[in-house]
Amino acid sequence: MKTFKYALLFVVMLLFVNYASAQSENKETGDASGEVITLNKEDFFKNVYNYEKNKDSLIYEGNLPCIIDFYADWCGPCKKVEPILKELAKEYSGKIIIYKINTDREKELAMAFGVRSIPTYLFIPAKGNPQSAMGALPRESFVKVIEEFLLK
């Protein structure tokens, strides 16, 4: 009977850990509204742009305008901008999506977009051509781009 209790407790703990892990993973790559979403290459192709399929033109796969933050964990300016992007993701929830791509993990994506310094931001409207900016931007600059370019 004691062995059964321990086995049951073990199974319950495994289920809990598995559930918690799945929730954490969904925050990173899911459609979490009001959060900055981390992308890998597969998610980028699905949610933003498949440059292997559409070599000649950028065909945006999303429904809402987006900002893509090309960053690295060790980058000081990237760390300064991170809380600003989190605030903006909440503030503009349902209007834009903010993604981030770790250039150390996703080197191919960084090379595909000519990212040579970080942070680099790609602003993609729902329709139209994207724009980019390099360097840490203040909150006011992000708001201006969102209001005058992405939501126009």
Q: Is the peptide bond between 77 and the residue preceding it cis, with omega within 30 degrees of 0?
A: no
pLDDT bracket for residue 75 (50, 70, 90): very high
Cβ atoms 51, 101 nearer than 8 A: no
66 in catalytic set: no
The string of pLDDT tens digits covering residues 3-58 is 433 333 333 343 333 333 333 333 333 455 689 999 999 999 899 988 888 777 77
With DSSP H G I counted as helix, E B as strand and the rest as coil, what are the percentages for the chain, rounded to 5?
45, 15, 40
Q: What is the DSSP letter of 58?
A: -
Question: Which residue carries 């799945």 as its tokens?
Answer: 22
Exactly one of 78, 81, 101, 118 is catalytic; which is it?
Answer: 78
75 in catalytic set: yes
Model pTM score:
0.76
pLDDT: which is higher, 118 or 2: 118
Exactly one of 67, 75, 88, 124 is catalytic; which is it?
Answer: 75
CA–CA distance, 58 with 16 (Å, rounded to integer): 42
